[in-house]
Amino acid sequence: MKFEQFNFSNKKAIIRVDFNVPLNDKFEITDDTRIRAAIPTIKKIINDGGSAILMSHLGRPKNGPEDKFSLRYLLSDLSDKLGVTVKFADDCIGNSAVDLAGSLEPGQVLLLENLRFYKEETRGDETFARKLADLADIYVNDAFGTAHRAHASTTIIAQYFKDKMFGYVIEGELSSIDKVLHEANGPFTAIIGGAKVSTKITIIEKLLDKVDHLIIGGGMMFTFAKAQGAEVGSSLIEEDKLDLALKILSLAKEKSVTIHLPSDTKIADAFDNNANTRLCEVKSIDKGWMGLDIGPASIQKFTDIIEMSNTVLWNGPMGVFEMTNFRDGTKAVAEALVNCTVKGGFSLIGGGDSVAAINLFDMSEKVSYVSTGGGALLEYMEGKELPGIAAIRNNQ
């Protein structure tokens, strides 16, 4: 069942949203991307004359309820965004949840307390899932970021509903990723960054069957450089992945994929924003110095490749962009993606750090799609079946 076509009038829908958002020490939301993403789905339900029961996790509470992980801190922001006063149940399956859900009127919204205050959530407990299911008539999964987990609220709960579907977030995620994986217009360029080769190896191998160009940046570039005999100083490397890096380079050659590695880097004498810095070639970094960003020659080369592409996937930063002195490479990639999009290209940003970067530079509205899923995005692109997706796709 397509979400858009369903009429929620006089129905209670329980929606698995992803409100796992960062809070500062005053319990203020510092990045509301995931909440903003869920608003259209919730509004569609209440505008139809239905009511919405929202469930999510926040953080990783270890032993039951912890105040710092309470979803009540999101109430004010959520009410403002929806234009309705959101009700709150201080226990996701307790009496307050049952009573408030039972008395919910059309157009009203109820937020349940953190699902992970119960260990049964992550265990995929059927009794726990059933208690959640009993609160509503319809199940909507709109939490792509948790779709790769077989948790009670993301997967197990679906079996208790005849009417179940994805919300706008997951529909958008799947169509955007499928477009990149199966309908990409060439040239197709993937930009893979971040610290370690080991966390990205499966996605790199998968992409070698799809892309024309593969740009590699971030800390992992030094493992590739060292594998080819470069002196990388104190830069981050994975000694046990040097052979793997060479295998990837060889595999790319076999598949006629051009791999682009940075030629120059901005180095520092400490992992510190105020460290001494200079530019040098990646292959000759002095001892005691470490590469923390790509250099201007690499920025220019990568910009040119991205801007001439018709499809671009970006996963992982080019440097330590959290520090102002080492974000030039990451910002340049973001700007090139915007230019590519303006020219009619399709740009998909995925993975936590890339999303954080595109938001930091205020460019998220200028690219084609920003994924809300980190691990889920990578696993889906690797070809793995996500339990939260299968629970609905295989039973509709």
Residues annotated catalytic, as ranges: 34, 196, 352, 375
Q: Are 32 and 157 in contact (CB under 8 A)?
A: no
Q: Which residue stretches of the chain are H helix? A: 33-47, 75-82, 95-102, 119-123, 126-133, 168-182, 201-207, 221-227, 242-254, 296-307, 328-342, 352-360, 375-381, 387-393
CA 352, 298, 285: angle at the middle one, nearest 5?
95
* Residue 348: closest CA among 375, 317, 371: 371
Residue 110 dihedral angles phi and psi, to the nearest 5°: -125, 130
DSSP 3-state assignment of 29?
strand
What is d(CA 12, CA 321) in angstroms, rounded to the nearest whole number? Answer: 43
Q: Classify residue 255 as exposed, middle or buried by CB count within 10 Å of its CB (0-12, 13-18, 19+).
A: exposed
Kind of pairing, strands 109-112 and 51-55? parallel
Residue 139: CB atoms within 10 A of its CB come to 23
SS3 12: strand
Sequence-ordered alpha helix ranges (H) in 196-295: 201-207, 221-227, 242-254
Residue 164 vs residues 177, 285, 323, 326: alpha-carbon distances, Å: 22, 56, 44, 46
